[in-house]
Amino acid sequence: MTGEAGIDNPFTGVHCMFFAEPELECVGSVFQYLQGGDMSIGVVLSVLASVLFGGLYFFSTLLAPLDGEQIFGWRMLLTFPFVTLFMLWAGYWPLAREIAGRLRRRPVLLLVQLLSAALVGLQLWLFMWAPLNGRALEVSLGYFLLPLTMVLAGFILFREQPSRLQKLAIACAAVGVGNALIQAGSLAWETIAVAVGYPLYFILRRVRSTDHLGGFWFDMLFLLPVASWFAWAGGVTPGLFDEFPRLYPLVALLGAFSAAALVAYIMASRLLTFTLFGLLGYVEPVLLVLVALLLGESIAPDEWLTYIAIWLAVGVLVFEGMRHVRRNRARLVLPAERGESPPVP
């Protein structure tokens, strides 16, 4: 992230300018961060998003008799207002106004924004549809492949170089994914959609400088007509809500948890490199597999190599993260606490 024009403080929404120096200061904020501090925040947000997504995967099964398309529709309709309220509260609303200004000045960008909305819309629909249609493991395989395709995109397009421990995590993951591909024999369309679709979405956002909550807000806005069509389901849905009143609070919770997960995910993608953001994606498929097991699916004996290798990759990343946190804390220790004299002003 060194040398970018700016980054958003995830606590205050204040737009901060920083340069190639290792330290940065956010004007108007009580916090002063090192680059490592921002990365640590990104890691926390990424893991939080994975935990929330794993919970949503299971939560969707509680919304019967709604089907996957109806759940997707209600999720989008109720996520949008929660994301809007968060942006207004946290000070991110100027980002949406900035995107609106760009679209007014160059209407052709509307096509790019519509493509962005379509790419993320497909992923969010698939996420809700798969566990209710017996395709959870196919989607999980896509999420196993996704970090590797993200790492590849970061290396080819953004010239990112993974650390030694990240390379070890990549090697472990490659063994696991390779075994999964051998066992599968072929790639299901759900697997390809996840493994290729998400990198295309994040590449498009980064290239067009819409990789923030403002760009995501417009993605959500353009998905509302499609979401309404799925939620209405030809007029069937209102009758289901009357017949099963428990759906009212459950659908509201779906929107709140979905907004929290997506906000954390988008903010993490902004704070982390493509490589690290991709590798941290292995937290989510591990959780999704656990959810798939809770839903009655099973792991065959010849699939254990895949999951052991993935768990090792996640363990390596956790180890690297702990080392990074310790180093970062050492930097933040005051000179007096280290027994040193403070610098002369």
In this predicted structure, what is the pLDDT of residue 99?
A: 94
Number of structural domains (the chain) is: 1
Q: CA 65 → CA 81, 124, 252, distances in Å?
A: 24, 19, 16
In a domain, 335, yes or no: no
In a domain, 259, yes or no: yes
CB 78 within 8 A of CB 260: no
314-336 residues labelled b (16+ CB within 10 A) or e (exposed) = bebbeebbeebeeebeeeeeeee
Half-sphere exposure of 303 (CA within 13 A, CB side): 15
The pLDDT-based confidence of 260 (bands split at 50, 70, 90) is very high
Burial tier of 12 (Cβ tally within 10 Å: 0-12, 13-18, 19+): middle
In a domain, 295, yes or no: yes
In this predicted structure, what is the pLDDT of residue 264?
A: 93
CB 132 within 8 A of CB 67: yes
pLDDT tens digits, one per residue of 200-246: 999 999 999 898 999 999 999 999 999 999 988 767 777 888 888 99
In a domain, 142, yes or no: yes
Question: What is this structure's pTM?
Answer: 0.75
Mean pLDDT across the stretch 103-127?
A: 93
CB 29 within 8 A of CB 9: yes
Range of the domain at 114: 7-319
Is residue 83 over pLDDT 60? yes
In this predicted structure, what is the pLDDT of residue 330?
A: 63
Is residue 15 over pLDDT 60? no
Map residue 333 onto helix, strand or coil. Answer: coil
Mean pLDDT across the stretch 113-133?
A: 88
pLDDT tens digits, one per residue of 35-79: 445 777 888 898 899 889 878 877 877 888 888 888 889 999 999
In a domain, 88, yes or no: yes
Map residue 37 onto helix, strand or coil. Answer: helix
In a domain, 224, yes or no: yes
| 54 φ/ψ angles, rounded to the nearest 5 degrees | -60, -40
In a domain, 336, yes or no: no
In a domain, 111, yes or no: yes
Report the mean per-residue pLDDT for the chain. Answer: 79
The pLDDT-based confidence of 250 (bands split at 50, 70, 90) is very high
pLDDT tens digits, one per residue of 285-339: 677 677 777 767 777 788 788 888 887 888 888 788 777 767 766 655 544 454 5
Is residue 12 over pLDDT 50? no
